[in-house]
Structure 1
Amino acid sequence: MTTNVAGGGVRRAGRRVAGNSAFHIFCRSGLVARGVLYLLIGWLAVQIGLGDGGQEADKQGALQTVAGKPGGTVMLWLLAAGFAGLALWRFAEAAFGQPAADGRKATKRLASFGRGVFYSAGCVTVLNFVLGQGGSSSNEQSKTYTARAMEHSGGRWLVLAVGAGFLAWGVGSVVGAVRRKFLERLNTARMGPNTRRFVKTLGVVGRASRGIVFGAVGVFLAYAAITFDPGKAKGLDGTLRQFAGTPAGPWLLVVVAAGLLVFGAYSFCEARWRKVEAVRDGSRGRTGRGGRRRLPRIG
């Protein structure tokens, strides 16, 4: 009984935090941090496509770029805090549900948990960098982790599963972008008609571009597992460079990189209009005209 009471108290405290306006601001700061990171990665990739890029077009390259600027250390700490906000937001959704009609479904909450883990890893990466522990490029990390996994029984299938997960995420992002599903997660009622069209365009182009890139990362991971060759695995930088090796040449990389720049800009729009309040237990939604369920005001 005592355990149940304590657990209920913790859950209620968690719901209060998730519903606090300060927590929502913290979450939105994470979306700004994500936007900054994608703008940097996209710009580095554009430079590579144009033949004058020296840094890797991935998180490490972006962090090195920030560190080399005046006030870079402060900016890095802000990025780390932003990714912590993203992770906590997603874990709150996993615990209490996403702000959508079907946000309490197990699949939705599991997806939020996965994103929470992803952003937690991003936060750790930034913290390691700012604390001087550096880090290898995404390509080296991908090859290293793939090789380590394949040393163990069943590791090959784990790598294949991770690759399939990235591919599914990428395809889902592209399909969702084309179908404009992301608009359901935005407070579009607070936008004017022109703003809504502008944000929709950014979302379609940006989210589809990111989906294509991460889907390609998944393809390379799956290929490494199928061929039992960790050297075939590629991180974000290596995947982007592969676009330059297609018959379309470097210009395809420039186009994809421009799409990542657009996603960075779209992230700022999400920071302004994204619904970030997790669904509270017991909030089944009020009933509107005709018995249709109406969600509580969110955001």
Structure 2
Amino acid sequence: MSVRGKANGKNGRKVVEVAGRWGFAARGVIYLLVGVLALRIAFGDNGEQADKGGALTEVAAQPMGSVLLWLLGIGLVGMALWQLTEALWGHKTTKRLLSAGRTVFYAVVAWSVFVFAGGDHSGGGGESDRQSHDMTAKALDLPAGQWLVGAAGAAIAVAGVVGAVQAVRRSYRKHLRLGEMSSRTRTAVDVTGVGGGVARGLVFAVAGGFVVRAAVTYRPSEAKGLDDTIRSFADTPAGPWLLVAVALGLALYGLFSFAMAVWRRV
């Protein structure tokens, strides 16, 4: 390889690294805000919406909110770009497929942020709930729709359980530059990684369960978006205190994402 080719390769890796770190930071902002909004709901503020749309509305209300929204969208594009490189040049087929799925996911989320930043706030708070109902209704009308929706719900639930187990096992550590971290930093990252990962996994598992129930009952309204799923924790025997725990966990996951932006090997 020529010297120029090597330089271009290094420059390309640097661009991907910056994109990935910016993406983790953007993800951190969204989860931190969703956690804060969920915490407000737990203490009686039912006017809030604990989903992406609610988080974007919160950002937009800040000074220079429009600029912050565009920066958030660019960060999510960076995450999509990094995941795309993992999908194209990763070593294991399974991980490449997962990265391809994440590429599409983050690209869609980034686009929705740009649309919001451009002034179309129709995807504001409660967006996840409306989308969940609409998508489930359309899917149920397809041939073998109940089976498709049920399989999708089961996949979401399994992904949540797997994510929670991986968090408890601290599987994320293999991706971190542990040698460059102090013992206090490692402890702080473990608190946010385990607590945040378990809360996030629990939310996914419950959301998947609701989708399965929608398939079994053939009622799209049974499928819940992020906001309704989070609110459902207050209806358990543990009451609002479980919602408080989940809200704090989601906020921790936001902080964990910030830590990944700094310490992850990208």
Q: How many residues align?
A: 258
Following superposition, the deviation at residue 165 of structure 1 comes to 1.8
Structure 2 unaligned runs (5+)?
none
Q: Mean Cα displacement is larger for which, 209-218 or 150-159?
A: 150-159
- The residue type paired with residue 160 of structure 2 is G
Deviation at 1:132, TM superposition (A): 2.3
Report Cα offsets for 1:126-154 as digits up to 9, x if no partner.
Answer: 11211223326211110011101112213
User: What TM-score does the superposition give when structure 1 sets the normalisation length?
Assistant: 0.82
Alignment of 1:106-255 (within 5 A): 106-134=93-121, 135=123, 137-255=127-245
Deviations 1:88-122 (A, max 9, x none): 1111111111xxxxxx1211111111111221121
Q: Which residue does the alignment assign to 1:63?
A: 56
Specify whether residues 41 and 275 from structure 1 end up closer, same or farther in structure 2 by C-alpha distance, changes over 3 A only.
same
* Deviation, structure 1 residue 17: 8.0
For the residues of structure 2 that align with 1:222 and 1:18, how far apart are their CA atoms?
Answer: 46
| Structure holding more helix per residue | 2
Separation in structure 1 between the aligned mates of residue 248 and residue 11 of structure 2, nearest angstrom? 35
Aligned partner letter, 1:112 = S
- Would the aligned equivalents of 2:16 and 2:81 in 1 still touch at CA under 8 Å? no
TM-score, normalization by structure 2: 0.92
Determine the structure 2 residue equivalent to 1:280: none
Q: Which runs of 5+ in 1 are unaligned?
A: 1-11, 98-103, 277-299
Counterpart Cα distance in 2 of 1:218 and 1:139:
13
Q: Give the superposed CA RMSD.
A: 1.8
Deviation at 1:220, TM superposition (A): 0.7
Shift in Å at residue 155 of structure 1?
2.6
> Which residue does 1:48 correspond to in 2?
41
> 2-side partners of 1:30 and 1:231: how far apart?
33
- Where 1:20 maps in the other structure, the secondary structure is helix
Post-superposition CA distance 1:224-265 (Å, at most 9, x none): 112111010000000000000111111110110000011111
